[in-house]
Amino acid sequence: MNEAGKKVAFYTLGCKLNFSETATISRSFKNEGFDRVDFSESADIYVINTCSVTENADKRFKTIVKQAQKVNPDAFVAAVGCYAQLKPEELADVDGVDLVLGATEKFKITDYLNDLSKNDMGEVHSCEIEDADFYVGSYSIGDRTRAFLKVQDGCDYKCTYCTIPLARGISRSDTLENVLNNAREISAKGIREIVLTGVNIGDYGKGEFGNKKHEHTFLDLVKALDQVEGIERLRISSIEPNLLKNETIEVVANSRAFVPHFHIPLQSGNNEMLGKMRRRYQRELYVDRVAQIKKLMPDACIGVDVIVGFPGETDEHFLDTYNFLNALDISYLHVFTYSERDNTLAAEMDGVVPLKVRKKRSKMLRGLSAKKRRAFYESQIGTQRTVLFEGENKKGYIHGFTENYVKVKAPWDPALVNTTHSIELKEIDDDGMVRFEYCTETTEVLA
């Protein structure tokens, strides 16, 4: 198929992993002669990469389809991703959707586009999730100043609230050689920061060559990537606390390129709730992980995922979580309000928490997150850091992040995009970002 002059637009819902996969799918369209345009522009094909982690992601899908149809009612609309695997018929029934591709088919989307005429009914090509046992490497580039590099896919854990194993299949990994080659490619294109992503990246190495054993470990991956010349920054995305080993923390602490920033899912600070969720640790292990990081990297940023309103969570359970998080030396929270997902054990559990209570608990933890972030930023005032500026003009300002994930802003200057500078953090602005001064000895862009 050669579609020279045809236009394609993409919309990505959900996680960093989805962004990396959208970028890979986009490159397959480019190879077929398509021109990529913004989703707000008129296109011949709109591709929506779906997510099903939260109920809101499901609901947003219909809105996004309507957005595409408003711009071009005759455009071909395709849905891929997790929601497309879990509920393909549901997506196919949405007015305007022409094609739905499941987990094994999404990377072959251009094979299904011989005819771009609208369908009366969405055409579905999905698989049994057991068939999703092969690995497709991905990374995002070109849309951001940092790249998301996929190193692993799928999950063998059986958390009672989670649909991801049903949507993405078993845990499997890219080969170490391929990850390193992709990292070199990204670096060669001038991208200064690479974020490692996957479903359960701490499980890296399992299924690397199509078998279930670990050929390499996540520690091996971290050590090898740190040796790749040309990569300025490496950042670990979310990693399970039971898979974040002391040796990995030590390597990051002494690393050339890995930055002092960790995002570690907790989900609950109450051991009874962790058991009901079938998490593979108790809160004492989490305390130990945070202490080890802070011992070796006192200025490290630590983010936490937490779920409120899980079935059976009483006021006492919630306050246990709140007090636990309040006492921890962490930097911010990602708060998820529990929502029932089909085909999960949690959806069948007793002790359903009323939505009103879930929302109240969520609001309390979001308030705690703001307090934690403020305290972390205050602890960094007066320190010297390196900022990487991003590529968007936001109301006359350019934003950037330090290596330890402090967000700063400066008056918009396109020359600053994708450049790093040595700065001193000065004060917290009214909008919660940090003002800074360039360090006088290094006001030029750092190579």
Q: What CATH number does residue 297 fall under?
A: 3.30.750.200
If one counts every other C-beta atom within 10 angstroms of the C-beta of residue 323, the result is 12
Whole-number Å distance between alpha carbons of 98 and 87? 15
CB 403 within 8 A of CB 259: yes
Asked if 138 and 248 sit in the same domain, the reply is yes
Asked whether residue 162 falls in the same domain as residue 273, the answer is no
Predicted confidence at residue 245, as pLDDT, reads 96
Contacts of 146 (CB under 8 A, 6+ apart): 191, 192, 193, 194, 195, 233, 235, 388
Q: Say yes or no: 14 and 89 in one domain.
A: yes
User: Looking at the structure, do residues 33 and 110 belong to the same domain, yes or no?
Assistant: yes
**In sequence order, which residues have a C-beta less than 8 Å from that of residue 56 and are 6 or more positions away?**
none
Do 143 and 254 belong together in one domain? yes
Q: Is 194 helix (H, G, I), strand (E, B) or coil?
A: strand
In a domain, 278, yes or no: yes
Rounded mean pLDDT, 293-316: 98
Regarding whether 393 and 375 lie in a shared domain, the answer is no
**Considering the domain boundaries, does residue 1 fall inside one?**
no
Residue percentage of the chain with pLDDT more than 90:
62
Least Cα distance to 268 among 282, 256, 255 occurs for 282
Q: 34 is in which domain, residue-wise?
A: 7-127
Specify whether the CB–CB gap between 170 and 125 falls below 8 A.
Answer: no
424 and 360 belong to one structural domain: no
Give the per-residue pLDDT at 110.
Answer: 84
Of the candidates 242, 259, 276, which is a domain's last residue?
A: 259
Q: Are residue 225 and residue 247 in the same domain, yes or no?
A: yes
| Same domain, yes or no: 244 and 170 | yes
Tell me the CATH number at 185: 3.30.750.210
Distance in angstroms (rounded) separating the CA atoms of residues 192 and 186: 9
> How many domains is the chain built from?
4
Residues 123 and 219 grouped into a single domain: no
Domain of residue 437, CATH code: 2.40.50
Q: Pick from 112, 127, 142: which residue ends a domain?
A: 127
pLDDT of residue 179 exceeding 60: yes
Instruction: At 80, give phi and psi (nearest 5°).
Output: -130, 175
243 plus 144 within the same structural domain: yes
pLDDT top residue among 126 and 245? 245
Q: Is residue 172 part of a domain?
A: yes
pLDDT tens sequence across 353-391: 999 999 999 999 999 999 999 999 999 999 999 999 988
Share of the chain above pLDDT 70, in %: 90
Q: What is the pLDDT of residue 117?
A: 61
How does DSSP classify residue 112? Answer: G
For 132-143, give the DSSP string: --S----B--SS
The model's confidence at residue 444, banded by pLDDT at 50, 70 and 90, is: very low
pLDDT of residue 377: 96
Degrees to nearest 5, angle at CA 46 with 20 and 336: 50
Q: How confident is residue 138, by pLDDT bands cut at 50, 70 and 90?
A: confident
Alpha-carbon Rg for the chain in angstroms: 22
Query: Quick one: pLDDT at residue 332?
Result: 97
Q: Both 29 and 42 in a single domain?
A: yes
CATH number of the domain bearing residue 26: 3.40.50.12160
Model confidence at 131: pLDDT above 90: no
Higher pLDDT, 382 or 58: 382
Q: How confident is the model at residue 23 (pLDDT cuts 50, 70, 90)?
A: confident
* In-domain check, residue 308: yes
Residue 274 lies in a domain: yes
Lowest mean pLDDT of 2-16, 144-158, 413-427, name the range: 2-16
What are 216-266's pLDDT values in tens digits?
999 999 999 999 988 899 999 899 999 999 999 999 999 999 999 999 999
E strands in 268-364: 301-308, 332-337
Tell me whether residue 447 is in a domain: no
**Which of the pair, 207 or 78, is modelled with greater confidence?**
78
Is residue 2 one of the residues assigned to a domain? no
The mean pLDDT of 64-68, rounded to a whole number, is: 92
Residue-wise pLDDT for 394-432, tens only, equals 889 999 999 999 999 999 999 999 999 999 999 998 888
Q: pLDDT grade, residue 130 (50/70/90)? A: low
Q: Which of 338, 212, 322, 329 is nearest to 270 (CA)?
A: 322
Q: Which of 350, 379, 408 is the last residue of a domain?
A: 379
- Closest-CA residue to 190 (of 387, 420, 397, 27): 420
